[in-house]
């Protein structure tokens, strides 16, 4: 089936799991490197060369996927103009594939340059994580208006930087009226243990719950079912990013079905990171659909997976999902999104107009 068919059949798409820094256009990376005089830090001169190093085409691992960020993040981090541009272009790209509502996530600290310990920014400066949030809010607002979509954001804690989590939670609270709708934890999978560091993450999520900030947690992607249980019990997760391995624990899986916990499924990503078996007939999404679970279909990191939402829809269609089951995923996303209640009601109304009221 042609790409266009999927754009047109699914006229109103919703995406809940996509990373802002994982959605940068390759052309933009090269462009910004030129503008900032950072070519020396990027060994690529063309989109093809860049893609050869960063795109994960074969199943590998989550760590390998995260490695790709090391190429292009230093080009963007620390620059207000660059951060604004990627967030604004994100809206344009979402609108092109007829996504009408999207929650895009990122860790503000990774795009700032003010920290002494920096993951990506090449030089220390005065662009703070709070400035990054201001920039992204402004760009998403302008992009939402110009491209007629609704783009909200989720701020991510990073598993390897527990000392940042408290500030992430506070930023979510400060900017809740400017489109920041939730908190997440990303990076190499958070595996629960008893180290004190882990408490910092948990404290941030407890603060979020207390302040009615919505919560989603990357869990059960490459990690075990117990990480999903931990996310639900101790991080107060309302949604789970990926969550494939929850199905390995029958009791937990029954609980997820019973409580209608939303699982943000990223089909292409799940195969490339080897979170799920290569044999698509074994994919956990098929069981979720059959059992009436609360799932959605998402891209995760388009710059490294070279996908868009239409590719993921096509992929699950090859897996055996019907168009109705794909639309069900869109309704599920609408019901589990973190938008304010009045906007959520409107989205559901719009969906019924587009797809009917059988979902």
Tokens 């992009």 correspond to 143
Q: Which is nearer to Zn ion, 113 or 153 (CB)?
A: 153
Measured over the CA atoms of residue 134, residue 135, residue 139 and residue 140, the dihedral's sign is negative
Q: Choose one: 108-116, 208-216, 293-301, 304-312; the region binding Zn ion (CB under 5 A).
A: 293-301
Tokens 């078996």 correspond to 277
Among residues 15, 103, 198, 221, the one annotated as catalytic is 221
Nearest of 100, 96, 98, 77 to residue 20 by alpha carbon:
77
Bridge partners of residue 221, in order along the sequence? none
- How many Å separate Cα 86 from the centre of its chain? 15
Q: Which is nearer to Zn ion, 44 or 239 (CB)?
A: 239
**Which residue's Cβ lies closest to Zn ion?**
300
Q: Choose one: 6-14, 87-95, 125-133, 296-304; the region binding Zn ion (CB under 5 A).
A: 296-304
Q: Does 189 participate in catalysis according to the annotation?
A: no
Binding mask 40-79 for Zn ion (x = CB under 5 A): ----------------------------------------
Binding mask 300-339 for Zn ion (x = CB under 5 A): x---------------------------------------
Total residues at interface with Zn ion (CB under 5 A):
1
Q: Which is nearer to Zn ion, 21 or 300 (CB)?
A: 300
Q: Which is nearer to Zn ion, 192 or 302 (CB)?
A: 302
Please list every residue from 75 through 134 that binds Zn ion, using CB under 5 A: none
Instruction: Say how many CA atoms lie within 13 Å of 123 toward its Cβ.
Output: 6
CA 268 – CA 304 distance, rounded (Å) = 11
CB of 300 to Zn ion, least distance (A): 5
The maximal CA–CA distance of the chain, rounded, in angstroms, is: 55
Q: Choose one: 51-59, 168-176, 187-195, 295-303; the region binding Zn ion (CB under 5 A).
A: 295-303
> 274-280 contacts: CB < 8 A, separation 24 or more?
274/59, 274/60, 274/61, 274/222, 275/62, 275/221, 275/222, 275/242, 275/244, 275/245, 276/244, 278/59, 280/315, 280/318, 280/319
Q: Which is nearer to Zn ion, 90 or 355 (CB)?
A: 90
Q: Choose one: 73-81, 83-91, 294-302, 340-348; the region binding Zn ion (CB under 5 A).
A: 294-302
Bridge partners of residue 99, in order along the sequence? 13
Binding site for Zn ion (CB under 5 A): 300
Q: Which residues are catalytic?
A: 221
């Amino acid at each position: 089936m042609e790409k266009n068919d999927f754009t047109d059949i699914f006229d109103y798409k919703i995406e809940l799991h996509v990373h802002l820094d994982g959605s940068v256009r390759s052309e933009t990376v090269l462009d910004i490197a030129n503008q900032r005089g950072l070519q020396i830090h990027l060994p690529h001169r063309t989109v093809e060369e860049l893609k050869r190093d960063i795109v994960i085409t074969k199943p590998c691992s989550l760590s390998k996927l995260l490695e790709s960020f090391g190429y292009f993040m230093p080009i963007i981090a620390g620059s207000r103009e660059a951060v604004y541009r990627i967030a604004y272009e994100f809206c344009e790209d979402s609108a092109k594939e007829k996504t009408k509502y999207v929650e895009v996530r990122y860790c503000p600290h990774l795009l700032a340059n003010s920290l002494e310990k920096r993951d990506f920014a090449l030089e220390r400066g005065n662009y703070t994580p709070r400035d990054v949030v201001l920039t992204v809010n402004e760009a998403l607002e302008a992009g939402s208006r110009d491209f007629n979509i609704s783009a909200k954001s989720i701020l991510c804690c990073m598993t390897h930087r527990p000392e940042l989590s408290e500030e992430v939670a506070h930023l979510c609270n400060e900017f809740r009226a400017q489109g920041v709708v939730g908190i997440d934890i990303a990076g190499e999978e958070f595996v629960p243990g008893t180290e004190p560091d882990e408490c910092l993450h948990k404290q941030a999520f407890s603060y979020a719950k207390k302040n009615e900030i919505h919560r989603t947690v990357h869990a059960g992607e490459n990690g075990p079912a117990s990480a999903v249980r931990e996310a639900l019990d101790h991080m107060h997760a309302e949604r789970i990013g990926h969550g494939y391995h929850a199905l390995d624990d029958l009791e937990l899986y029954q609980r997820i079905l019973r409580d209608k916990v939303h699982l943000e499924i990223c089909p292409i990503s799940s195969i490339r990171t080897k979170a799920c078996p290569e044999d698509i007939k074994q994919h956990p999404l098929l069981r979720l659909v059959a059992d009436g679970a609360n799932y959605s279909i998402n891209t995760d990191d388009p710059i490294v997976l070279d996908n868009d939402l239409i590719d993921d829809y096509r992929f699950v269609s090859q897996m055996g999902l019907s168009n109705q089951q794909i639309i069900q995923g869109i309704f599920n996303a609408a019901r589990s999104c973190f938008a304010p209640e009045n906007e959520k009601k409107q989205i559901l109304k719009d969906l019924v107009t587009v797809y009917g009221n059988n979902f």
